[in-house]
Amino acid sequence: MANIVNIGVIQDTASDDLAANVTRAVARVREAAARGAQIICLQELFNAPYFCKSVKPERFDIAEPADGPTVHTFQALAKELDVVIVVPYYEREAAGLYRNSATVIDADGSVLGTYRKMHIPHDPLFEEKYYFAPGDVTADLRHDAHPGINGFRVWHTKYANIGVLICWDQWYPEAARITALLGAQVLFYPTAIAWHPGEKATFGDAQVDAWRTAQRAHAIANGVFVASPNRVGFEPEPGTDGLEFFGQSFIADPFGRYLAQAGTEPEILVAACDLGLIEETRRNWPFLRDRRIDAYGPITQRWLAGR
């Protein structure tokens, strides 16, 4: 029997007006829900320009707590529309401690938990190590801590079991595999990935293809659905050539087949995902069965050659 869940992803631009970005995202979520989406994911750091292009301490002011106004806005919206919403934003955990986070809100408006980006890049115009502490893998022993914050997680929402991994996480098969082993049926990858304008002509197509291929491989290797919303638009940065966010958001099934694809303009994707395909795929491609878990100890080492 088919078990259809409609997945939606929002591909959009972001301006310096944070309130306007939230207002526009609310409208996009409403449109996705009107088109039948039941689980909807926004892009990485959706409510602000990609501020990591340079080191500027005042940009810490963009951050807000996990129980702040942005999450509250989408809690009310999720409850009203009876949809699950993944909300990626800049989180202020404490003075001087900031995270690249995504809060998962169930269809009744309740917060199921918050994922904090585990892999933090550092590249020209991607100064993320300055702005973000990586997600923690050890258990939080505070008695009032929410169990949905720590390391790789899966959330049992009204419509499906979902995992969230953020941008740079999408290049790591370990992250996808662990999240799939925790029971995720859909992996969401909210993203902010861009071309350096000077490199676009030479490397642009290959970069998009690599980005999509890596994530489709996670879908295939783990027998899960993958949904990846990226941002779009050129964002300037004084003294540089800026960044051109290339969009190309997509939703793929456990065979890695595209169910929906976007271009380089703002767009809402909605795709019907038959969760029954997970069982069918894994019966024919039993990668989880054939794993040699007794032989994988070396994966925990940083490097092995020459030892």
57 token code pair: 């301490």
167 counts as catalytic: yes
Which residues on adjacent β-strands are paired with residue 91?
64, 99
Q: Which of 41, 91, 117, 127 is catalytic?
A: 117
Beta carbons of 28 and 76 less than 8 angstroms apart: no
Q: How far apart are CA 196 and CA 217, in angstroms?
A: 25
Phi-psi region of 125 (alpha: psi -120 to 50; beta: other; left: phi over 0): left
Whether 199 is catalytic is: no
* Active-site annotation holds for 174: no
The SS3 call for residue 20 is helix
Q: Name the active-site residue from 41, 52, 167, 273.
A: 167
Going through 60-96 in order, the beta strands assigned E by DSSP cover: 84-94
For residue 281 the two structure tokens come to 């795929």
The answer to whether 107 and 158 have CB atoms below 8 angstroms apart is yes
Is residue 239 packed enough to be buried (19+ CB in 10 Å), middle (13-18) or exposed (0-12)? exposed
Instruction: Tell me the catalytic residues.
Output: 44, 117, 167
